[in-house]
Amino acid sequence: MKFFWKSVLLLCSFVFVLKCCYSCTTPTRHRQLTAEEKAYKERMEIKRRYGHQIENAAELMAVKVQELIAPQSGKEVRYSVFYDDLTYDRRNHRVRVYSKFSFLARDFLSGVSYGTCQIAGVLDVYLPVRSIDGTRANFFWKERNQHIIDVSKRRHWDTLDKGLSISF
């Protein structure tokens, strides 16, 4: 009888060891990502890969907008890029982000004192396909504040309505 229990105990421990070894060698199943998590992961990868070019394009475009609206009185140019709305078009190598630009400006002749001009819209950054190609960016405004309207002229908005383009 003693021998029987010893053999059962030995057999059980052998089965337990085999189960442990099998579970260590079989791949574990990972949880499937939701569509929202996949989109977030893709946005962060694009930001990691092309973020410096997007930021550079936003900075240069903010300066160009400020020079267009208030070439002499504009100062303290700032920009924000919102990566939550980032989209990437693989076929055209284009990254689209929502951007906001602000700067201080005045119109001395119209009697408008210094204030913060704000304009926001879509910034399209066309990434270079080859290392010898340059980067292009287009800006199409969607929102603006009252001060930028007071400081600017109608011809400025004619230019902005068509969209601003830069290459670097």
Give 108's Cβ-side CA count (13 Å radius). Answer: 5
Q: How far apart are CA 136 and CA 167, in angstroms?
A: 4
Residue 144 binned pLDDT confidence (cut-offs 50, 70, 90): very high
Q: pLDDT tens for residues 46-97?
A: 899 889 999 999 999 999 999 998 877 767 899 999 988 899 998 989 999 9
* AA identity, residue 142: K
Q: Distance between CA atoms of 73 and 103, rounded to whole angstroms?
A: 10
> Is 70 exceeded by the pLDDT of residue 156?
yes
Closest alpha carbon to 73 in 110, 103, 118 = 103
Composition of the chain by helix, strand, coil, percent to 5: 45, 35, 20
